[in-house]
Chains A and B, each alone.
Chain A
């Protein structure tokens, strides 16, 4: 690690002390992170790629190179991988499409309400933030019970209020998403809300004052001041929430175990099943890479779109 630094070309009032020609110092600062980065990110990715291209099992004497066989499985109709990978990838995407707008809009709405100086503001902030500290298993069991086909609170309430017959939430395709989406919103809303609350605190009040002098309606202030001023936070919230939603795993595992008929199984749950239940490590690794690529493209596209909005806004 030797680096030659060009001598400073700009002359300042006080001439800088002559620097040593080679400086290791910056690299020493980078070293701890670089070591961890290579050890826990670069190396595993490389090893994962190796696994996905071989018929890999630590216990077997040979680990023959099979090239793209496990990738081909994913794109060959009729194989279990093609059937279930794309099905569960769609499930995960569907969950993201449904939950992200709700999570962002509800968080913004709550933040706007709780930003005002209302009585019990801190209490309500805590109420909405609190569920986030629960583990996914606690949250999952709670919402599974709420929506149980026979003994759930939701069906009991429907019966008590409207004498409506029970709905088999957990065993009906489509409806089984309801407890997962509702539960996830309840569980993770507080984090986004907190981000929005912090951002709202940073919007200069003078802008609103100027707007009100110009006769702007509350809606106009919101549309032309609040929304643009919050745009960078919104970008951050949308991207992190979308990525988190794509990593859906625990909620559907605990609430529906992916059922009925794999209709709520997340792609990560399926990859885990292929790897650790079926002991098909190479196949699971290949699917992991395809899914990773999918997310990379998705995030890049989202970033481009949103970044443009932020700039233009």
Chain B
């Protein structure tokens, strides 16, 4: 991801456009206590780092009484260090934690809850954010973090190719039936026959309908499909439950695209599908929104839409990842002014103006006010903005690793045709639950 920093003039215009949203909040985030210094630990070490540093510089200039000193280090290092930092009473004042780690740290007591009163005083209004995104950092009815960055699984589609096979390039599929029809029309063999015609040769494809593949990114299509069909990854006791009838039916549809409908290539890899989509051989490429930059630079004629409801009709859903500002648990006697100041910092950084600046890193908006900004009016990514409220992270249970690793393995086995879908998912759930049973002992 190489992105130029957001041009200053545009920021100014954007701030003016956001004026109505930002004005009433500005009064809420004041800090009148003595001068404090806050330590801030985050994992934005790539091209997003200068954007974060410029935001912090701006904050420090705006709030002379609060000086934030930021440290950027790889996420993995933070996950390893945070427990010992908290245990020894030397935790940073503010730490950014990602969606797949946060519930674990919350359940282990590394993060302190944000009370309703604190959020109110700081002017952090939950309702302003996309609901599931804010709830990513919730656990047992309490909030533990404020989202500042977000990525999601989307569906890229090739407008030229869709037009060529007789599909409306401005109406990407939304339902399972529309999706299947589109995929079939896009799948054309070297003699020009498509997947619905007699004599179609699936072994010699010229173009095909959809990219599916076997790594963890590929598995996120199955994750979306399960949620769309009303399934879930875990049950109410937080045991793995991705082998429910809804889940099996949803994943079966995806596997059938490969094995029965032949509108997706078998045995494929993310790289191969990415190359094929870039070369105009695939109509629909579901993947992370982080590829946007790449396709834009390539000057492809493509669109971006929310993942169609391939899994079922229960609801819209796609996988998403996010980063949340959290306040780690501090030793007894921790300066209350620091916590107040930290909340002001969290509030400021999650404001629409700052979030708009942050989208220059490739992040999705965290709130409707930012998504509505005129900057995005003609941007391809705008195609997913109508359903950002349906982006679901893997969180809410402390053992995300124990659930997602077996799930990814199950998808791999099903996609490669090594196991029938039901068996692959059953095996995955059984492995996950054995590991959860062990992990549970740590929380007693």
Interface residues of A (CB under 8 A from B): 55, 57-60, 73, 79-80, 144-145, 148-151, 168, 170-171, 257, 259-262, 273, 276-280, 283
Contact = CB atoms under 8 A, between A and B. Distances in A.
The contact size tier of chain B is: 35 or more
Contacts of B108: 57, 59-60, 279
Interface string B249-273: 0000000000000000101110111
A58 B87 CA distance: 6
B32 interface: no
Interface string B75-105: 0100110011011000000000000000010
B442 A260 contact: no
B215 A257 contact: yes
5 contacts: A59-B108, A150-B276, A260-B214, A279-B108, A279-B442
Interface in B269-292: 269, 271-273, 275-276
A260 B86 contact: no
B399 A278 contact: yes
B416 interface: yes
Given A149-B268, A171-B214, A276-B79, A262 B275 contact: no
B95 to A, nearest CB: 14
Contacts of B224: none
B66 to A, nearest CB: 28
A260 B269 contact: no
A81 B86 CA distance: 29
B110 interface: yes
B272 A149 contact: yes
A168 to B, nearest CB: 4
Interface stretch (B20-28, B180-188, B405-413): B405-413
Given A149-B268, A151-B275, A277-B405, A59 B83 contact: yes
A168 B267 contact: yes
A277 B214 contact: no
B39 interface: no
Contacts of B272: 148-151
Interface stretch (B1-9, B384-392, B432-440): B432-440
B401 A278 contact: yes
A58 B84 contact: yes
Given A259-B214, A278-B402, A57 B268 contact: no
A151 B87 contact: no
Contacts of B299: none
B431 interface: yes
Interface string B392-436: 000000010110010001001100101000000000000100110
B273 to A, nearest CB: 8
Given A57-B108, A149-B267, A79 B434 contact: yes
B171 interface: no
Given A80-B434, A170-B269, A261 B418 contact: yes
A148 B438 contact: no
Nearest to B83: A58
Contacts of A168: 267
B441 interface: yes
Given A59-B108, A148-B272, A150-B267, 9 more contacts: A58-B83, A59-B87, A60-B108, A151-B276, A171-B267, A260-B413, A277-B401, A278-B402, A279-B108
A79 B431 CA distance: 9
A14 B76 CA distance: 65
Contacts of A79: 434, 438
B383 interface: no
A150 B83 contact: no
B76 A276 contact: yes
